[in-house]
Copies of this chain bind each other. A is one copy, B any other.
Amino acid sequence: MTVEAPATYTLTVGEVAAASGVATSAVRFYERHGVVHAERTSGDQRRFDDSAACRIRVAKVAQRVGLTVREIADIFDELPRDPQPQDWGRVAETLIREAEERTAALRAHLDAMRSGSRLCEL
C-alpha cells in the first residue's frame, strides 16, 4: 500500500517569507486568500508546511500573466491533501492553459484587427 506523506506544519511566517522572497505581510495576505494554508500553534502563531514558499513563488509568476490571487487560490484548491507529482502536474497544466488562452485571445484580437484592413480605424 502507499506510504503516507503527511504534511507537517512547522515553518513560521518569517521562514516562508524568506524562502519565497516576499514580505511577511504578503505571506499573511496569501494565506487569508487561500493561496497557502497554515495551522496555528496553541499560542495562535501560524505554522506552514514545506509547500508554502513554492506555492507563493508560483503565485507570483502566475500573477504576471494576469491571474488574480483568487483565481490562483482556486486552482491550488484542486490539489488533494498530500498531493502527488501528477497532482502538481495538473495544476501546472491548468496555469499554463490559462496563460495560453489569454495570449491566444490577444493574438486573435490583434490578428482580426490587422486583417480587417481598418487597423484601429487608421
A interface residues with partner B (beta carbon < 8 Å): 5, 49-51, 53-55, 57-58, 61-67, 82-85, 88-89, 92, 95-96, 99-100, 102-103, 105-107, 109-110, 113-114, 119-122
Contact = CB atoms under 8 A, between A and B. Distances in A.
Contact of A57 (B49, B65, B67, B109): B109
A94 to B, nearest CB: 10
The dominant DSSP class at the A interface is helix
A21 B100 CA distance: 24
A106 B60 CA distance: 9
Q: Which 6 A-B pairs have the closest CB atoms?
A: A50-B121, A54-B120, A66-B66, A51-B120, A92-B110, A99-B103
A122 to B, nearest CB: 6
